[in-house]
Structure 1
Amino acid sequence: MVKKVLTWGGIAFLIFFIAFRPNSAADVFKSLGGGIVDIAQGFGEFVTNLVA
């Protein structure tokens, strides 16, 4: 029950954040995307160095 409430609360907050602060929301998603790209590149370099 608590998990369901927190999930719906998070979704509501996300919609509110995007609707009323679109520039800030875009910055957050850009930062998250950049972090994911950095992790993927690091993993790729690790595998390359491991094989080579």
Structure 2
Amino acid sequence: MPPKAKSILIWVIIIFLVYAVITSPERAADVVQAVWDMITAAFAGFGRFFNSLTA
């Protein structure tokens, strides 16, 4: 991807995220919480997997 296009794409994403938070902060918080829950569940799953390898 050309650097200019990548820069434009990043700015479009940032502007969209700011717009989403300003127009609906509760919904944005729910999305962040859901993403955080998925990340922590994934790390917990990795932990269980490696723990089962050593047991």
Indicate the TM-score class for this superposition, using the shorter chain for normalisation. Answer: over 0.9
User: TM-score scaled to structure 1, two decimals?
Assistant: 0.96
- 2:45 is aligned with 1:35: no
Q: CA RMSD in A?
A: 0.5
- 2:19 is aligned with 1:16: yes
Q: Percent identity?
A: 35
Cα shift at 1:38: 0.6
Distance 1:20 1:50 in 2: 47
User: TM-score scaled to structure 2, two decimals?
Assistant: 0.91
